[in-house]
């Protein structure tokens, strides 16, 4: 029973570290992010990794690929061209 408890605690800590390191904007824009992190953390634990920080870093790197070191939050997409604003007219 001790091994199962250790793996659960390791999973919880690693997932928490990976999730807390991501900006809220990235979390909101990626609906399957939690599932991807879950699968990445589980695979690291299954492969025998025992350090939570290494597991979290590898999971983020696996999900985000080469941009993982920047923890990139994509910009919001606009729905069309933005109109130019006119300068206020002088009254006088």
Q: What is the pLDDT of residues 57-84, one digit of tens each?
A: 899 888 887 666 565 444 445 555 555 5
Which pLDDT does position 73 carry in this prediction?
A: 45
CB distance 63 to 22 below 8 Å? no
Tokens 């390791």 correspond to what residue?
10
| Predicted confidence (pLDDT) at residue 9 exceeds the cutoff of 70 | yes
Which pLDDT does position 75 carry in this prediction?
A: 44
Confidence of residue 25 (pLDDT cuts 50, 70, 90): confident
């Amino acid at each position: 029973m001790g091994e199962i408890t250790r793996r659960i605690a390791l999973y919880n800590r690693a997932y928490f570290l990976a999730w807390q390191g991501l900006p809220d904007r990235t979390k909101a824009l990626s609906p399957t992010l939690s599932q991807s992190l879950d699968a990445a953390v589980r695979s690291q634990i299954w492969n025998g990794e025992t350090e939570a920080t290494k597991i979290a870093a590898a999971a983020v790197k696996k999900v985000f690929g080469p941009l993982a070191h920047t923890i990139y939050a994509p910009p919001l997409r606009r729905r069309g061209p933005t109109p130019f604003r006119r300068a206020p007219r002088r009254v006088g």
